[in-house]
Chains A and B, each alone.
Chain A
Amino acid sequence: MGNRFSIICGMLVMALACSSLASGQTTSPAPTAFDPHDLSGIWWGRLARGVNSSLGPTAPPMTAWAQEKYNAAKPGLGRGARAQPLGNDPMMICDPMGFPRIMFWTNYPYEILQLRDRVVVFFDWFYTYRTIWTDGRELEADPDLRWYGNSVGRWDGNTFVVRSNGFDDRTWLDADGHPHSDEMRLEERYQRVSADTIEVTMTLTDQKAYTKPWVSDKITLTRAEPNIRMREDVCVPSAEQRYKELIRNPAGGAPKNVK
């Protein structure tokens, strides 16, 4: 199977190369113009590791506090090595995913709206949003904790820089159960690099949980196809509970008295 696939790909790549040589001209279309300060639109976060995506494949060393939380986390979704049928992932009871994890849940689009004094990012999954204030305010030193944090943004040249704090520490960072504390701070850097692409990197600093900052891999957002609309993909606790009783628990071998 793998060999046949490789042969087909090889033939196609050769055909592509031959076609270019034969034409003797550049065949790529002219790039579509775009405003580098415009991030608006509906985007996919198509990340290589799908729902197992995180800031990067390897977290920085955890503190003892974080290690204890990580050990208690029992991932139940995705293809990670720690996944087990009856996990305790907060998403499995429809608790909010929080930020940044919701960016890594790649089956659903997000929509960015730029307003005069703020940028609003809607997430189709959970049908929720975060607000990034751009009116010049500073982050509060001790804000109320929020699932999606408290955020301010400003343009640094063509890079939109977002700083956030005040994250509710009940959320996981990823499907593998990496924790964070309420002291977590995030810096995200967005660059519109083409009409159809935004590149994002983020740096997580959380001295209570990690011994050094966690700098993410580059996250690529791809413009959604014109027919894609935001839906209303809500995780409904009562529906999830019924699914758990009828499907997940019996499939995973849970005792009958487990609800």
Chain B
Amino acid sequence: MKRRSRLAVVVSAIIVLLGFGISLKAHHGSRVSYDLTKTVTLKGTIKEVQYVNPHVYFLFEVKDAQGHVTEWGAETDPPIMLERRYGWSKKFLKTGDAVTVTLWPSKVGAPRGFLAKLVTADGKVLDHQEQPQQ
């Protein structure tokens, strides 16, 4: 029985790794709008959250050294994927939250991006290991 359990763990690990490998290798060009070869990281404050289909997105304000504020926007997966893969929910993020946001940025230089990683001031993390699909 023990041996069978160990075997199940090994098989599961292979399946998980194979699945992970396939998803990493796939070139998800969607979001053909975004440069998937680099990321930018910004600190800001959430202005608006839209937890909607088919794209969850939020706007946040980033202040530079001179005090100028730029409104950035980040989109990510639909709710069903965020909830299944990352345990997100509608309550994860709200207006006024201080956040550190890592994005695959817009190719045209607009202050927009696809979410790669989000860290909230109270330590919640969404680490989007896969590049966007849709």
- CB within 8 Å of B: which residues of A? 2, 5, 8-9, 12-13, 15-16, 19-20, 22-23, 27, 48, 50-51, 76-80, 83-85, 91, 107-108, 124, 231, 233-236, 239-240, 242-243, 246-248, 250-253
Please tell me which one of the listed residues A9, A15, A85, A247 contacts residue B73 in the complex, with CB atoms under 8 A apart. A247
- Of B38-46, B75-83, B119-127, the segment with at least 4 beta carbons within 8 Å of chain A is B75-83
Known: A9-B18, A234-B53, A247-B75. A51 touches B112 (CB 8 A): no
Q: Which of B27, B81, B133, B134 is the most central at the interface, judged by chain A CB atoms within 10 Å of its CB?
A: B134
Question: Is B69 part of the binding interface, using a Cβ–Cβ cutoff of 8 Å?
Answer: no
Set of chain B residues within 8 Å of A250, measured between Cβ atoms: 73, 106, 110-112
**In angstroms, how far is the closest chain B Cβ from the Cβ of A235?**
6
Please tell me if the beta carbons of B33 and A252 are within 8 angstroms of each other in the complex.
Answer: yes
**In angstroms, how far is the closest chain B Cβ from the Cβ of A251?**
4
Please tell me which one of the listed residues B3, B33, B106, B112 contacts residue A23 in the complex, with CB atoms under 8 A apart. B3
**In angstroms, how far is the closest chain A Cβ from the Cβ of B96?**
19
Please tell me if the beta carbons of A235 and B53 are within 8 angstroms of each other in the complex.
Answer: yes
Question: Is B50 part of the binding interface, using a Cβ–Cβ cutoff of 8 Å?
Answer: yes
B21-59 CB mask vs A (1 if < 8 Å, else 0) is 110011111111110000000000000001011110101
Alpha-carbon distance A243/B113, docked complex (angstroms)? 13
Please tell me if the beta carbons of B14 and A13 are within 8 angstroms of each other in the complex.
Answer: yes
- 5 further A-B contacts with Cβ under 8 Å, apart from A23-B7, A234-B53, A251-B75, are A9-B14, A22-B3, A23-B3, A79-B26, A248-B75
Alpha-carbon distance A51/B133, docked complex (angstroms)? 7
Interface size on B, residues (CB 8 A): 45
Please tell me if the beta carbons of A85 and B32 are within 8 angstroms of each other in the complex.
Answer: yes
Please tell me if the beta carbons of B32 and A231 are within 8 angstroms of each other in the complex.
Answer: no
**In angstroms, how far is the closest chain B Cβ from the Cβ of A239?**
4
Closest chain B residue to A49, Cβ basis: B26
Closest chain B residue to A8, Cβ basis: B17
Known: A85-B32, A233-B79, A250-B106. A239 touches B14 (CB 8 A): no
Alpha-carbon distance A251/B30, docked complex (angstroms)? 12
Please tell me if the beta carbons of B113 and A251 are within 8 angstroms of each other in the complex.
Answer: yes
Please tell me if the beta carbons of B57 and A247 are within 8 angstroms of each other in the complex.
Answer: yes
Known: A247-B55, A253-B108. A85 touches B6 (CB 8 A): no
